[in-house]
Chains A and B, each alone.
Chain A
Amino acid sequence: MRIRTLVYYFREAFLSIFRNSWLSLAAVGTVTISLLILGCSLLLVVNTDRLADQLESSLEISVFLKDGLKQEEIRELNEKIRFLPGVVQVQFISREEALEEMRRSFGPRKEILDGLEEDNPLPDTFRIKTRRADQVVEVAEKVASMDGVEDVRYGQGVVERLVVVTQWVRVAGIGAMILVGAAAVFLISTTIRLSVFARRREIGIMKYLGATNWFVRFPFLIEGMVLGLLGSLLAAVLVYTGYLSLVEHLARAMPFIPLVSDGQVLFSLLAGLVGLGLFIGALGSTISIHRFLNV
């Protein structure tokens, strides 16, 4: 392809954009909004996913034993648990140690617990760690069915709830993105249709002069893609600056919430947004080219 031809394509595309400047602006705006929604919900998903990962990795199973087990029985139980698949660590905490631990966690008000040594209500406990988070439930169920086990706790519900929230964010974000994205495609195709209409005379002459179909189509395709690109770049910049300032503020206000801030993740996310913007633009103009440009 000759440079002169390329220059021609881009000049025509930009002329059209400025000729229908208000519609072009609206098209860029809808692309921006739809990708903004997508970008925000993706960031939310990435962060909740990571939070869920961290919670899961810190999960451990607490096994409360029945009162009055003999040392022998406790040791046997310890062995049985240790050989369950997925178990990496088993720690025995006697009721005395458990009370001591609780006393420490109460800090300066530990005298509340005074006098409990004689009638310690805390049971003997095993703490189990598994290799992977999804093994927690299985191991917990097996241990619960063993003799001498009173109860098993592993933070039931917390992980499940987080997963549900993540799922919901994902679905709602993608749903909103698709709706606004469809509006963006529609607006871009309308913009292109007007451009085709404004240049219908020229297009007729081009056909008489022996222009190939792609020569006629290309400026319109470029026009749509430029609109999509502008919209997505705007969205990417907004998402990036917004997220960075959020990370900064949160790092000061709530340091215990670990936000994803590594460049690799952010970069691929933003690149994805820009790619999607180009795709939306190309799709919108292709629709119009097929329907209104009978070359």
Chain B
Amino acid sequence: MMALRFIDVSVIYGEGTPFRKVALDSISVDFPAGQVIGIIGHTGSGKSTMVMLSNGILKPTSGKILLEETDIWEKPREIGRVRAKVGIAFQYPEYQLFDETVYKDIAFGPKNMGLEESEIDARVRTAAGFCGLDELSLKKSPFELSGGQKRRAAIAGVIAMDPKVLVLDEPTAGLDPLGREEILGGLIKYQKEKSNTLLLISHSMEDIAKYCDRILVLKDGKVYMYGTVGEIFMQAEKLFDASLDLPQITKLFIELKKRDLTENTDVYTVKYAKKEIEKLLFLTKSQ
């Protein structure tokens, strides 16, 4: 089953002005339900445009977007329903915090969906749990929190709406490595438990390699590559052409292959790399 489908979607900004820009050029792509899909691409490749299209903040110039096989623009008046199903956490979502307490801020979405008080409470607490916020911070003003905690509070606000598709636009930008791991770890746990679909936009190839099932690579508003993590990172040259990078550990194995030390370049995580190097050293020894 596909959670979200883009069919021949184009977006043109500033049509009829000298600043006309084709942000997305007739792209067709399917996002399978229950998977974590990484979206990568150079700045200006169309990632953020895709994010805005996914829940109808932006209307495509042409083409269709299907959410669970229904065109989201079929009944424009009911676009609000789509927005409850597709949750977006924008870049730097902490700038959107506004309420008196973290609890109220997280409750804002579910409240506007017209849920019962007890259901709202349960959702706020579950969402806060996945994002690593404790009871004490729920009572605080969002502005008393540290940067990393603010980010968690803002993401929890989206999770509390329990969206079918969760879209995260660089959720860890500006966080330290531990903060990155905690937030992404929590989100993946949430995704696995609810088997929702997660679209993760990130510039960190290491994070993409670690957490995603599939990768969509955008270039100049077009689908440049789309496949499993292995399929994408295997094509190093092609990624470099799109001015993207590989995880450092993959680069190491490409170099080792050049030196005839290994055949395997499907290495994306340090854990797996360690096993491979051990094997390599063991084989050399026993040769």
Are A and B subunits of one complex?
no
Interface residues of B (CB under 8 A from A): none
